[in-house]
Amino acid sequence: MQAPVRETNAMAVVSLIAGILSWIVLPIIGSAAAIVCGHMARAQIRREPARYDGDGMAIAGLVLGWASVIVGLLTLLVVVLFFGGLAAVFAFAANQ
């Protein structure tokens, strides 16, 4: 008797590829696609576990997508604080 072959979920593959691309060329679009496709893939895999495989790829895409979003937000925060601090220093120096 042969065991049924589970197919790899296409959304999981798309999530992983988009997560990788979010770090290389498409930071905003890639991370959004990785997050959305990763959640959709995990939902499909949970609904039909006997049919689909690829949960690890979906999780990797989710991690890469969310990490890209977090790094982008932290970078934005650092830039705003740096230039805001610079503006405050110049304003203080101009008043002296």
All structural domains of the chain with their residue ranges: 7-68
Alpha carbon distance 87, 25 (integer Å): 32
Supply the pLDDT for residue 3. Answer: 76
- Binned at pLDDT 50, 70 and 90, residue 59 comes out as very high
Taking the C-alpha atoms of residue 23 and residue 4, their distance in angstroms, rounded to an integer, is 36
The DSSP 8-state label assigned to residue 2 in this structure reads P
Q: Please tell me the predicted confidence (pLDDT) of residue 93.
A: 85
Contact 42, 55 (CB under 8 A): yes
Read off the amino acid at residue 21.
L
Q: What is the mean pLDDT of residues 37-52?
A: 95
